[in-house]
A and B are shown apart, each in its own frame.
Chain A
Amino acid sequence: MTLPLDDDPKLAEYAHPEKLVTTAWLAEHLGRPGLAVVESDEDVLLWDTGHVVGSVKVDWHTELNDEVTRDYVDGEGFAALMSRKGISREDTVVIYGDKNNWWAAYALWVFTLFGHPDVRLLDGGRAKWAAEGRELTTDAPAPAPAQYPVVERSDAAVRAFKDDVLAHLGGKLIDVRSPQEYTGERTHMPDYPEEGTVRGGHIPGADSVPWARAAAEDGTFKPRAELEAIYQQEKGLDPSDDVIAYCRIGERSSHTWFVLSALLGFATVRNYDGSWTEWGNSVRVPIVRGAERGEVPAR
C-alpha cells in the first residue's frame, strides 16, 4: 500500500518528486498503515536518544554491511533485516538521518539495490525535524515481524566497482570529497583518520563537486534551479550522461547520487562505494594530484 505523494511545490520541481517528502508531510502521515519510517545515522546511538515516533533504526555498519566481506548484505540478509524491522515490500519507506542525510541517502541507495519499490528521503533529515520542534521519543517500537521476500541484490544499475571505474576512465566522474582530499593534500577527512589511505589525490578526469554544494543551510536539498546551475551549467553535465560518483567510503557520494538521479533526473548514475578507501590503497591504479582533473591515461 503506497502513501500519497507530497505535493509540496519545491519538491514538485524535481525530476522525481516521489523520492522525497517534507517534514510537514511526514508529521501529517505518521502512524498511517503502510508507512515505515527509518532513521539511519552516523552515530549508532543517536536514534536511542530520541527519534521520530514509530521509527526504527537501521545502522549501516552493523546491519547493512556484511560482517565479514566488504559488501552489503545479500538478499536473505536484507529480507531478514526488513522482517526484523517490521517493514514489508509494499510499505512506503521514509528514511531520515543525521549529518545532512548522508547515511540516510546511503541507506536509501542500499534499499535501491534491492529494488524496494517505494522509498523516500525526508528533506532536511533529522536536524530539520528537530529544529522545527517536532516530536521525538525515546520509546522503542516493537514492530511485529513482517513478511519480506528474498530479493537478490541488483548492483549493476546504481553501483560501480573498481573495474567499472577503470573501464569508465575518460567518462564523467564526480569526486564529492573536500577540495583538500581531491588535490591529495589530505588522505582522509579532518575528523576521520581511521579511513585514511596510502595515496592521496583523485581519479584521473574526475571533476570536484563537494557534496555539500547540493545542500542548503537547513540541510534540505537546494531547489532544482540551483542544482542545475551547479551540475549542468557550471560542470557541464547532461542528464543523458553516464556518471559515476565517489567519495571516501560511498556515503557522501550517495547524497550526490541521489541529487543527480532523483532530483535532476540523470538516467545513469552509479555510486562507486569502494571510493577512495579502495582506489587510494590499490596497486597501480592511475591517480592525479593537484587541483586539475588531469590526463586520463591511454589504454
Chain B
Amino acid sequence: MTAGTDDLTAGLPPALAEIVEDFNALAVADRLQLLLEFSQGLPPLPARLEGHPELMEKVEECQSPVFVDVEVDEQEKAHLHFSAPREAPTTRGFAGILAEGLEGLSAQEVLAVPGDVGSRLGLDQAVSPLRMRGLAGMLARVKRQIRVATASA
C-alpha cells in the first residue's frame, strides 16, 4: 500500500517534488544510496561562512554538529548554506536534499513547504523514523531564519 506520487508531492516546490519522486522510484535499499549521493553533493560553504560556525545556527535536532544559514537576497530569494561533518553522511544527505530542493525559492515558497516532507522520502524503513527528525529540525530552522530575515527587511 503506497500513496500515489501526486499525494507525496502535493504542495511541494518543483525541485523538491522531483527529489521526492526520485526517492520513491527506487527500491528501499537504493534510496540509501541516493541519500549518500546527496551527502556527497552538499555544496561547500561560501567563503564568508567557511570555518565560522558561530555565524550559523546549530540544528539541535541532529545527532551531529550541523549548522544552517539562510540568506534572503534583494529579490526575496532564499539561499541556503549547510555545514555537516563527513562522518555524519545521513545528516549531510538531509542537508543536501534541502539545499537542492529549496535553493533560490522565494521566502514565501520556502515557508509554504509542508513540514512532513521528510516522511515523504520513503526513508523511514531504511533510516529509521527517529533519525528522520533531523530533517524536520533543519527545515524548521530554515523557515525560522526566513521569518526573521523577512520581518526585518
Contact = CB atoms under 8 A, between A and B. Distances in A.
B149 interface: no
Interface in B9-61: 32-33, 35-36, 39, 60-61
Given A43-B64, A191-B63, A61 B87 contact: no
Nearest to B89: A45
Nearest to A189: B63
Contact of A192 (B36, B63, B89, B127): B63
B91 to A, nearest CB: 7
Interface in A20-51: 42-46, 48-49
Given A48-B32, A49-B36, A194-B130, A42 B93 contact: no
A98 interface: yes
Interface in B86-118: 86-91, 93
A49 B130 CA distance: 21
A43 B87 contact: yes
Interface string B126-139: 11101101000000
B86 A49 contact: yes
Interface residues of A, number: 17
A39 to B, nearest CB: 13
A117 B31 CA distance: 35
B131 A61 contact: yes
Instruction: Give the interface SS of chain B, mostly helix, strand, loop or mixed.
Output: helix
Given A61-B131, A194-B133, A48 B33 contact: yes
A48 B61 contact: no
A190 interface: yes
B90 A190 contact: no
Nearest to B127: A44
A240 interface: no
Contacts of A62: 125-128
A44 B126 contact: yes
A193 B61 contact: yes
A269 to B, nearest CB: 27
A190 B60 contact: yes
B62 interface: yes
Interface string A155-173: 0000000000000000000
Interface of A: 42-46, 48-49, 59, 61-62, 98, 190-195
30 contacts: A42-B63, A43-B64, A43-B89, A43-B91, A44-B90, A44-B126, A44-B127, A44-B128, A45-B32, A45-B35, A45-B89, A45-B90, A45-B93, A46-B88, A46-B89, A48-B32, A48-B33, A48-B89, A49-B39, A61-B128, A61-B130, A61-B131, A62-B127, A98-B87, A190-B60, A191-B60, A191-B62, A191-B64, A192-B63, A194-B61
